Structure formats: structure tokens, C-alpha cells
Amino acid sequence: MAYDPKTGKGLGDLYSAEHRCTKRREWKGLKDTLYDYGCWLRLLGMLGCKLGPVLPQFFRGLKRYRWLVSYITTPAFLDRHTIGLRGYELRYTHQQFYAVLQNSAGMIRDLLERDENLNPHSKKAAELRSKTVIFDEMMPIQIMNGFPTLKGIPIQMAPIFVVGEVDQQANIYYIDAIEHYGLASDVCPLPAAEAGCCVVDDYPKVGAAYVSSSMPCDGSVASTMYSNRYFKLPNYQITPPQRFNEPEVQEYAVKNLWGCVEFIEKQFNVKFDWDAFFEGVKRYNKESDYMIEKWDVNCTDYPQICGAALALHREYEMQIASSLDPKMCKYDAKVNKLMKKGYAHSVETDDKPRYRAIVWSCPAHYYSNFTYWAQNCWGIKTLVDMECMLAYHHYDEHDKKKVLVDMARGYERMTMRSHSNGGYVNALDECWKMCEKFNANIVFMYNHVSCKNFAGLQGLFEEQARERGIHLIWIEHDLMDPRTVSRKAMRDRVNRYMTTVFRAEPLDPTLVDYDDDLTW
């Protein structure tokens, strides 16, 4: 418990309205502070090792790319997600985030060492570029398991997607750039920022071919068309079926996916290596098993790996690392082993959460630690997040035809597609199923104000939640743009609901009202 009733000091006191960072690091007691500090040093060490070999490019990159500067705040990002945590939960969270961050650092290194803007005369960089395929986010980069001599890089991840979580201000510049260019300001800020990054020429030039997509909404389709013109690379478009629950669409999906394999084979004059691919599939299946174990534990009275540690990790593992990084599996094994110990400890001490919640709809990138705030302030434990409830079925590990069907099904259920596409049952009925499965009576219902996908279902959600006695707490946000709905405004929604409907007292009153508009 971070709040001290005697002094009235709590976690909210760490923030100040004038500063981007907290006043100081949190004191978590001797043992946990030492652990925390150790992890902080380990993170710095890892960043040093990963980025050391590309240090000259890194410094040139700081001048060239605005988004790269935000990554300097990565230790603060980790702090934000571990604030208020103690014991096993602190350890899980550190491990989960370390896995994500080491992969992200690797991705940034890959970008820096290949980038034509930073290495204009380097033969080595040119050679690396000639063996690199760039992917739109949420595309089946998993395919690259079958091309061990090539590299796949999800191109928007480092400049837009991940950095928006690291620094809430990071995407604003790109959103403004595309709006000054003429885009209406009510477009989803994610594709807007991605297109804005093209406008200001802030993408590294790293590939020789581009696999793009029709993502789940019109905004992203438009953004992809724009990116296509910007990258000027040979391009293949994967268009996962929207009504993916219908069996008839699978034949098309497989054909579309295999078309991508043939495109890469042709562009790079290499053959698809099925053995290497099946090795990746085995890793993916293992990663899914670890995830299911975590979910299963969270269904019990003693949930363990909750909030962003669960959600961001899964999202990242499937969408970006995509079984291409064997280290992810290694970290998963370690965390799940620790989770079993933590569970036994919770049972022994009867450490149950005060409130149980799930997160539904698309969460705010600029407030990825929102669930930890809810936990620290009100004792609401977030057991699962819609965005991490992606595909979790096993892929066939031997049959070439079957594995492609499995993979197509997997990518139809990718982030932002799995519940917002495919019919309303995926959004609506699935929500109640998850409430029942996780024994949660609170739903943090994110209302992304620039997204129309869920807007039509609001009335049905309200009505059905009432019938089921579930508390829907609607939380407006604007995905990547904190100027539309600030973090504070998001918290106010929960504060108002908790005091009015639950008549609850906060665990840490200093977290009810504080100013973090400027913080990373």
C-alpha cells in the first residue's frame, strides 16, 4: 500500500503539473526498491548492449527523427507501469515489460543500422536493406519465420505505435502535420499520425519490399494508400476478411496469405523454408499456451498478471515479436513459473482484489498505465483487456495446408480486428462471456471518440449490462491524442462512478485528482 494515512502522502504526490517526469522514484520498501532499482539498471544495460553497436546512428537519429527522442524516456515508461506495485506483481510486471522492451530495442537497432537516411553511403546498410521486408502493423509478419535469411520489420511500430505508449506527447506532432496538410481532425489519430509521419518524412528507409494491408477501418485503409505512395516500394496487400466467422471466407484468406509468400519469394529470389516456419509455429503455440495459463489464473479468486503487464505484452508478442524472437518464449516460461509461486502465496494470504474488472474496446495509447492507476487508486484489478484477447488457437505444426488456414484465422483475429470486426457478437456477446469467465462485474468501456466501430453498439451495451448487473464505466479517449481527452479526464470518469454508484473510498486519495498533462 503506497498511501500513508498518517502523513497523507501517496502516489499522486509524485506528480507535478510543471514537470514531465515524476518528482522522484517511488520508495517501495527496502526489498522491492532494491529489486526495482536492479531492474532499472538491467534495462539500462540492455539498452546499452542493444544500441551500443549503432551508437553513431543513434545520435544522428536523434537529430533526424523526432520520435526517436521519446525513447530516451523508456525508463520512465517502465516506472509508470510499476508504480504502486509490490512483491510478486512487481516482479511479473518487470519481466513482462523487459521482454517487450528488449524486443523493441532490437527493432530500433534494426532500423538504425539499415536506414538509408542515417547511413547514406554504407554498403553494409544497403546490403541489409536489400534483405528487408517492411510490414504494416497488424500484418502477418509471422510469415518471416519461413524466410530466415530475410528480415521483417513492422515499419510504423517504432515511429508511431509503441512510442505513443512510451511518451503521451510523441504522436501529437505527426497528427498536427497531417491535419495541416488537410486531413479532417475527427479521423482516428492512429492512421492520422502514421500518414503525418509520411508528410514530414520521418520514417526510416529500411526495406526493399512492402507488405501492406486493409486494416480494420476506413482511416487505416486511407493511411495505407498514402504510405504506399510514400515508400515507393514493390507492394503486396493483405486484406483479411472482415466477416471472419463465416467459413466461406477462409479459402480467400489463405489464398491472400500465400500470395504474400509468393510475392516475397519473387522479390528476393528465395524459397519459403517450411522447416524454419514450423519452428516459429511451435514457438507461437507455446506463447499462446503461456497466455492461456495467465488467463486461467486470472479467472480464479487470486488473479496474478493483470493490467498492462498482461495486455501490452500479449499485444506486442503477437503483433510485433510474432514468434520471431525466441527470447520471448524464454521470458514467458520464467514469468509463468513465478506466477505459480505468486498464486500459491495469494491463496495462502487470501489476497483477493477489492474489485474485478475487464477492459473492453480499444484502450488509449497515451495512457497505457491507466489500469494501474485504477488499481492503485480504487483497488480495481483489471483481469483482461479486449485488445490482448487475440487469436489463441493452436496452429498445426506439420500440415502445410492446415497451418495456413490456422494462420489466416489468427490474423483475422488480430488487434482491432478480433472484436470490432466479424459481426456484433464478437463485440457484444463476447464481452459478457468474458465477464462471466473472469467473474468480473465492472467493465472499463473505452469510448474512442474518433472511432465509429463500437459507437453503434453503445445502446445495446448499456441495456444488456443493466440486465446482467454489470457496471459499465464509459471512459472517453482519443487513442493517440491526449489533447482531446486528457488522462485526468479519463480518470474523472472512474472517480465519478466509484464515488457515486459504489460509494467507494479511494485507497489512495492523492490519486483522485492530480495533474499529469505534461508527463511522459
Binding site for other proteins (CB under 8 A): 458-459, 462-463, 466, 471, 474, 496, 499-501, 503
Please say which residue, 399 or 463, places its beta carbon nearer to other proteins: 463
Shortest Å distance, C-beta 479 to other proteins = 17
Please say which residue, 144 or 473, places its beta carbon nearer to other proteins: 473
With beta carbons less than 8 A apart as the criterion, state whether 290 and 328 touch. no
Question: Which helix (H) or strand (E) is 454 found in, with range?
Answer: none
Shortest Å distance, C-beta 472 to other proteins = 8
Shortest Å distance, C-beta 19 to other proteins = 24
Please say which residue, 123 or 503, places its beta carbon nearer to other proteins: 503
Amino acid occupying residue 500: T
Shortest Å distance, C-beta 478 to other proteins = 12
Please say which residue, 163 or 431, places its beta carbon nearer to other proteins: 431
Please say which residue, 409 or 471, places its beta carbon nearer to other proteins: 471
Closest CA to 255 of 233, 236, 280, 235: 236
Shortest Å distance, C-beta 466 to other proteins = 5
Shortest Å distance, C-beta 189 to other proteins = 18
Closest CA to 128 of 140, 155, 110, 144: 110
Angle between helices 87-114 and 74-82 (to 10 degrees): 160
Please say which residue, 24 or 503, places its beta carbon nearer to other proteins: 503
Cell, residue 284: 507461437
Q: Is 173 exposed, middle or buried (0-12, 13-18, 19+ CB in 10 A)?
A: middle
Please say which residue, 302 or 497, places its beta carbon nearer to other proteins: 497
d(CA 371, CA 473): 13
Shortest Å distance, C-beta 425 to other proteins = 22
Bridge partners of residue 357, in order along the sequence: 382, 442
d(CA 59, CA 37): 26
Q: Is 379 exposed, middle or buried (0-12, 13-18, 19+ CB in 10 A)?
A: middle
Closest CA to 369 of 447, 307, 415, 416: 307
